[in-house]
């Protein structure tokens, strides 16, 4: 299981740069990220190398942050493997609220970052189906 940061940020020029500057100054690596925006505000979701340090630094910079548990599911870098993961989830009646891509720095394998309603149950279910979870 991984920890994710959700950063609530104003949708204006330079905001993402400011956030990444705060993280860079703290020597925090961004391991995966996705941005969802609306007209005025957006949510930037990230898995980082130091979740607690990132939250502390970003809150000090004036950002509202939330920590969430997410699953990291390693998949082979082959055509159709995301589809196989989604089929396994569908067969088990699991809904993915959202997902985004990262990769395992040790193995070089792609990792799908997935948020679901009951993360512990989903983790056990996918592991039983042969998926490697982090």
Q: For residue 69, what is the enclosing H or E element?
A: strand 64-74
| Average pLDDT score over the chain | 92
Q: What is the fold of 70-133?
A: VC0802-like (3.30.2130)
Q: Looking at the domain 2-69, which fold is it?
A: VC0802-like (3.30.2130)
Alpha helices in the chain (DSSP H): 15-25, 51-60, 81-91, 119-128
pLDDT digits (tens, 9 = 90+) for 67-107: 999 999 999 889 999 999 999 999 999 999 999 999 888 88
pLDDT of residue 43: 93
d(CA 9, CA 23): 15
> Per-residue pLDDT tens for 97-134?
999 999 888 888 899 999 998 898 899 999 999 998 88
CA distance 83 to 42: 28
Angstrom distances, CA of residue 114 to CA of 33, 63, 100: 12, 23, 7
Question: Where are the domains positioned within the chain?
Answer: 2-69, 70-133
Token pair of 43 as six digits:
């949510």
* pLDDT beyond 90 at 12: no
CA atoms within 13 A on the CB side of 37: 10
In whole angstroms, give the CA distance from residue 133 to residue 87.
16
- pLDDT at residue 7 is higher than 90: yes
Q: Which residue has the higher pLDDT, 37 or 111?
A: 111
**70-133 shares the fold of 2-69:** yes
């Amino acid at each position: 299981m991984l920890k994710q940061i959700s950063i609530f940020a104003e949708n204006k020029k330079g905001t993402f740069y400011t956030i990444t500057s705060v993280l860079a100054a703290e020597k925090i690596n961004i391991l995966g990220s996705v941005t969802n925006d609306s007209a005025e505000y957006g949510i930037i979701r990230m898995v980082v190398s130091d979740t607690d340090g990132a939250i502390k630094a970003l809150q000090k910079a004036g950002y509202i942050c939330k920590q969430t548990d997410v699953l990291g599911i390693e998949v082979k870098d082959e055509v159709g493997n995301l589809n196989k993961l989604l089929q396994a989830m569908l067969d088990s009646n699991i809904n993915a609220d959202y997902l985004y891509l990262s990769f395992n720095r040790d193995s070089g394998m792609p990792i799908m970052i997935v948020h679901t309603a009951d993360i512990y149950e989903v983790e056990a279910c996918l592991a039983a189906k042969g998926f490697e979870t982090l």
